[in-house]
A and B are shown apart, each in its own frame.
Chain A
């Protein structure tokens, strides 16, 4: 009886700890092969056949269909430069340039990647040729209920969102890990209820 309890407790602990650690590793930890530029993360070498088992599991459980290498790369930002959540009602602003590609798009989604509801936003995506640029090639774009920059996506939501930049350029996949490429800075305003002071 004692031996049975001993075995049962061992099996139970192993199942609980093994499952919990596997789910934590695949859902919370970032898989190897991620490319990080500032607050932007891209799933480089995660979606292809060379992906490690953890990346494979991360991908399978995340509901993504990552772009292939011939399709470019997808950068996702979930927070600002100062680690604040991107809440549109607090006026999210992107400034800078996307110098890793000439053709790119910018999309606002829910934080988990699902599309925004139509009642929250009339337009959720812009194309690199839709924007107004400054003389030095940089741009600024606001995401919020009121336009605060020359370019704006009018989104009304008190919940955090994700900003996704898709770059359509085959050469992007050869970028090194170091931050040689530039992507826009992301800031969050402080005015409004529930916004960071």
Chain B
């Protein structure tokens, strides 16, 4: 499982897969992920087939925020990228790597593909890891559910794909008594569909109790790409509210050549 958390480290360094190095600090990185988990996770957030540049003004590895339109790296700082790569590559335990990705702000500053700058590298890697772990246990994609966990119950190694003090989401073939909705027969940009089918809303963002969470719930019903939606959810939770655009220019496609 450690390899899955290292398979996209080249993207944290702003490199394409072809330009990627095979080792970093003596550790093997950028290995292909078994069981097609990387491909399936990609299909959760991007269309299949030949990619098209969706934001021509932003041909860049830096993620654009869905809420503010800004490129997130400006707040994180370019210098943090090298430190994050160094941290990820020195972790020798897969469960520790999972926690590090769940908590990483730096991985959230990068997109999973230059062509789709609103996607999030962080959630692509976490979704890939959850799929791989489930496939290794014999589950097929069509067996999987998105389950709502109680954040106080802690996280499940590799399977928890988003974890905050208000919301904890997990992919699993056995949701048990947790509220859950099936992911469907094949991987697709289906976040909005699965979210609207959940039999409950997370208690930490109960829309009945707070207009902020109603706005957030309404926005999540509009987003199809999984990594984009999970990242938007995390960003709103850390802001404590739905992110607002103050200058009325939510999306500014300024290409930065900092890497």
| A, B from the same assembly | no
